[in-house]
Structure 1
């Protein structure tokens, strides 16, 4: 049965169900609010798009802010903890010596570039499917179906990279890298790679749970894992009895990632989230090309911007271990300050996906604008603090005065661009929730690769000989251009009513092939999509 879309709603009804786990604040008990409703193929054609016309814009802003702020807090803690593992590795290794710090820094750079960029890009593709599938499909196991596709794609990705890392130190020497730094880098990566699969699968499972409106499990797991990781890192690197030096850092990381995956698996198995998982078979392989249609642009979107930072780090290595170590410290600070805006974007992506899945285009539009405003508020405050404490931050990583001095020189450039860097992470999440990863790639290429990076290398190595400062000037320009371009598109050029139809098309095309062939009622037919599109523009 379909509820009457024109039935009046009161503010009391709206407010009575405001909680973090509700797919939407406006959902009512006993009503069917899925656009892909089982057994009613004409529902989409007859549904009234965005039937909250009685909710004023101030109430809408209040409701969306009320949902986003409580969701951002645990999500931010999760993101900060995930990024802090490399931070802890640098802290524990940094005082072993400049060569050890440079080797681990180079290893983290290669791990980011070759593993985490494409891996997290594939995992982030779930934003385009799982969030909207939870509200658009009555069959909630389609959320698990897409999550399983993500895990299969990630597993396939890691196999050739593992082979490459086995020979990585020899390859680095051939490229002209310092043999001692290459040796430390190779030792680090071969062990670290053992924890890459559980790290990325954990991210898929975290998004699977988040899609169901619950962002807290990842936070609880991080709350347990982080202090254990800090203790293990110190113990395995510095302990006089079992300390292993540089090798202890990746060993601690591997232990942490496998523990996190185990805890998330246990949570899913013993919570309501398991009902959305569906089959344990490999049926998700059928039609997986549709997943890659969004996964490859998602990885390229992440790689196009993330690789720009790594290319700057590689350029810093040309100016010696001190410049590389300082760049590693700044890059790690950037990763930490990036996480809160990225978490804000991730929370907004959940909200937007749920809203589009239910046809609530106004809520999706308001959520995007509010999240961008929150990103600016945090970014400006963070940039101010970075500039004020620029002379002290380097001591967090090492005691070498040259490295600390170089950090204090670079931090003003970093602080000037940090707000836009964080907003890039935020808006990237919004674009993925809309399935527009390919458009972000086209925006990032001119910003970073035609403008920022060439200018940076020219200033660093050209007649001006600005060295690492020149690299940062070019990077800052690319970051700002990319950020402003995406924000303008989100705020002024998105047709949110049309995005509802696009969202439903994406879910219909990606549904399990066998169910499609059998007339799966949870997938919209071409005729239904056509009728629904007509209803959007009535």
Structure 2
């Protein structure tokens, strides 16, 4: 072995391998920094990111546009109705929506990996079916917590009227959670394949119908179901 200031020569059999001592000064890269920072590339990449993010932004905005008139309509029913709705939102989130949504969002990574790396693209459908079965099993477990929510609320000190209204809402709301989770799973399934417009178009088409149902089931005096119109 011969050692010099600039290099080390190692003899391996019939080959000589030279290892540069100052390798940090001789590293070469195929990335052209000037090219990466060129205005044209930044502009095109920003446009691509905006196009990818826009459907998600619109989807979130649509959900807020649903909640705003609903909260306003419930507020017109009285403070007890508004308090019951807030209690239902917290309880449903802790005892169902949070864990079930986490399972649905797992498809974001699983389907993305399957779509980009797996040779068999049918893995996307397999993941989707497995998540459906898993969610159905978890819903079966949490069903008693939702159906018997009224005595639970009373046990923790919630006023009787609010506990009664919230318990009735949860019994109806439980049947709509399944449809919500199916939508979230299908949205993740499509987003992983780069299909983002379908969810946005679906929400945009349903938004006027939801506003109409809020008016008919909550606000309109002749057809209103009261606070029970919220989960309906």
Check whether TM > 0.5. Answer: yes
Higher strand share: 2
Q: 5 Å matches for 1:355-504?
A: none
Shift of 1:154: 1.3
> Where does residue 37 of structure 2 map in the other structure?
58
CA-to-partner distance for each residue in 1:364-387, whole Å, 9 max, x for gaps? xxxxxxxxxxxxxxxxxxxxxxxx
Give 1:61 shift.
Answer: 4.1
Partner of 2:23: none
Partner of 1:226: 207
- The aligned length equals 201
Deviations 1:92-116 (A, max 9, x none): 1111111111011111111122221
> Matched residues in 1 for 2:117 and 2:30: separation?
17
TM-score, length of structure 2 as denominator length: 0.80
Instruction: Give the match's secondary structure for 1:117.
Output: helix
User: Counterpart of 1:157?
Assistant: 138
Q: Residue 92 of structure 2 aligns with which residue?
A: 111
Would you say the 8 A contact 2:107–2:185 is kept in 1? Answer: yes
SS in 1 for 2:230: helix
Q: Which residue of 2 aligns with 1:145?
A: 126
How far does the alpha carbon of each residue in 1:422-443 deviate from its partner, in whole angstroms, 9 at most, with x for none? xxxxxxxxxxxxxxxxxxxxxx
Distance 1:67 1:52, change over 3 A: farther
Q: Which runs of 5+ in 1 are unaligned?
A: 1-50, 252-538
**Partner of residue 113, structure 2:** 132
> How far off is 1:84 after superposition?
4.2
Aligned to 2:70: 89
Larger radius of gyration: 2
State the Cα distance separating 1:120 from its structure 2 match.
Answer: 1.1
The answer to whether 1:166 aligns with 2:142 is no
CA 1:216–1:154 in 2, change beyond 3 Å: closer, same or farther? Answer: same
Q: 1 CA distance for matches of 2:108 and 2:44?
A: 22
Q: How does 1:262-341 map to 2 (within 5 A)?
A: none
| TM alignment of 1:194-273, pairs within 5 A | 194-251=175-232
Q: 1:352 maps to what in 2?
A: none
Whether the aligned pair in 2 keeps the contact of 1:236 and 1:245 (CA below 8 Å) is yes
Counterpart of 2:174 (choices 188, 193, 215) is 193
Question: Residue 94 of structure 1 contacts residue 101 of structure 1 at CA under 8 Å; is this kept in 2?
Answer: yes
For 2:70 and 2:164, locate their aligned partners in 1 and report how far apart those are by CA, in whole Å: 17
> In 1, are the aligned partners of 2:217 and 2:226 still within 8 Å (CA)?
yes
Q: Alignment RMSD, CA only?
A: 2.0
